[in-house]
Amino acid sequence: MKLSRRAFTQCFAATTGLVALPSFARSELSLGPATLTTVSDGRLVLPGQLIFEPMPRDALPPILAEFGLSPDRLTPECNLALFRDGTHTVLFDVGSGPDFMPTAGSVVDSLNALGLAPEDVTHVIFTHAHPDHIWGLLDDFDEPLFSEATYMMGRREWDYWWNPNTVNTIGEARAAFAVGAKRRMQMIEDSVVLFDDGDEVLPGISALFTPGHTPGHMGFEIRQGSESALVVGDAIGNHHVAFRKPNWESGSDQDGPLAVRSRTMLLDRLAAEQMTVVGFHLPDGGIGRVEAVDDGFRFVR
């Protein structure tokens, strides 16, 4: 589906008059001697059609009713995963910063609530380069906010947004995404560490290629002894239709069919292995488990 500029304009217009929500650590999980915490970057305010437009008109309303959702407006949380093992303090993505939506961009306040400053972060690992995941990279002086961190991104994701043709081929509605990503990536060009599918990017953290939402989207399996969790970014983008009807294409994905394959692979594995899932836009802090049910899957806190 080709999203219109109007749809994205409505997305921003919907936030008029809203202020950022309180910031705090939302959920925490122990993984052996390490901890995995989600910290809030606020939430987005999106027009429903951004996700629902390509979905079956007759089958969608019962799912919306089940979850108490409006077809017109969605307000997903933004939950950044924070991994600490005593040596590394790893932040997965950096949030929106101040320039995307007034309801998002509050990760620094959330880190402060944990007694952490940006310079305490040793590594930033990106799932992908959409605005709510990378636009928070720069501070007020256009310098990398997490000044002591090593920045890491999947090679395919980096190459896609770095390509000068992307801004012309991504579609008019997402052209600003490409410009914004490239500007921020230029600030870490000389120091970024690139990795590929299956690489152990840090001890106990392995990359898992989950394309579709973006061409190079990555998830990450975190394993400490017998305990593990899977940071899925936006490969599982919500707790409602993505779980109930994982085979439905979503308007938020750049490649709908490929995103379906990644999403179903993740849900099948998470349900079978009962591995903890950490989702950027999943509710109540984004940490939970996946349960297989007759009509698909269920997110369980």
Residue 25: band (very low, low, confident or very high) from pLDDT cuts 50, 70, 90 = low
Summarize pLDDT for 54-65 with one digit per residue, the tens.
Answer: 999 999 999 999
Return the amino acid letter for 262: S
DSSP state for residue 144 in the 8-state scheme: B
Structure-block tokens of residue 218: 């990555």
In the chain, what percentage of residues exceed pLDDT 90? 88
Predicted confidence (pLDDT) at residue 3 exceeds the cutoff of 90:
no
Six-digit token pair at 144?
């990398």
Which pLDDT score, from 0 to 100, does residue 7 have? 47
CATH top class, domain 5-300: alpha beta
Three-state secondary structure call for residue 37: strand
What band does 27 get if pLDDT is binned at 50, 70 and 90? confident
Mapping DSSP to helix (H, G, I), strand (E, B) and coil, where does residue 265 land? helix
Give pLDDT tens digits for 39-51. 999 999 999 999 9
Q: Is the dihedral of CA 106, 131, 173, 63 positive or negative?
A: negative
Angle between helices 175-186 and 155-162 (to 10 degrees): 110
Q: Which of 40, 69, 43 is nearest to 243 (CA)?
A: 69
| Overall pTM surpassing 0.85 (yes/no) | yes
- Secondary structure element (H or E) that encloses residue 224, with its range: strand 218-224
Write down the domain spans for the chain: 5-300
